[in-house]
Amino acid sequence: PKTDPRRYLRATAIRGLDLLPANKRMGEIPERLSSAPDRHRRLRQVIDALEREQHYDYVVFDAPPSLGLVTHNIMVAANEIVVPVALTYFALDGCAEVVQTAEQIRVEHGHPTLEVSAVVPTLVRNTRLAREVLEKLEEHFAGRVTPALGFNVKIDEAQSHGQTIWEYAPWSRGAHMLEEIARAIRDR
């Protein structure tokens, strides 16, 4: 049975920003879609309908780090991918998998506009390893690496209070870092 996603849309304290938060039924998505003939296009169909009715300028997906059916649906529905990458070697492998999957979707689903438009370095520490990983990202994604998101306790605290960093601590270093990242992504 199809579920109308508009039932789950929630307005936020920020004018013009709506959320479609995760709910328990989302855990059933892979099982429910696994045998559907258009399983990889379901989210695209939902977003097309929402965009016609709600007139959103942007639709942002927060995808799980795994490359399963849900993430595949998100990539088919998206035009751009922003990849957060912890500055560790394992995360580099994960980033490479995202790039390969995006290429596969471009080919298999006739989606030539899908691209990794930005890479956001996260969990930044002042270590030789972190600098090496950042260097590799900058080599491979020239011009697409955003300013880094370092550790910041205010970001964690804001999340624990169910608030954005701009509601919780608008003048914090965390808010400043996230603003720089958002500007870099917007200006690409």
Burial of 95 (0-12, 13-18, 19+ CB in 10 A): buried
Distance, in Å, from the CA atom of 32 to the CA atom of 36, rounded to the nearest integer, reads 8
Predicted confidence at residue 24, as pLDDT, reads 65
- Residue (of 59, 30, 55, 54) closest to 42 by Cα position: 30
List, in order, residues 6 or more apart from 143 with CB less than 8 Å away: none
Could you report the per-residue pLDDT of 37-89, keeping only the tens digit for each?
676 677 777 777 777 777 778 888 888 777 887 888 889 889 999 999 999 98
- Residue (of 5, 45, 42, 50) closest to 25 by Cα position: 5
Give the residue ranges of the chain where pLDDT is below 50.
Answer: 1
Predicted confidence at residue 34, as pLDDT, reads 64
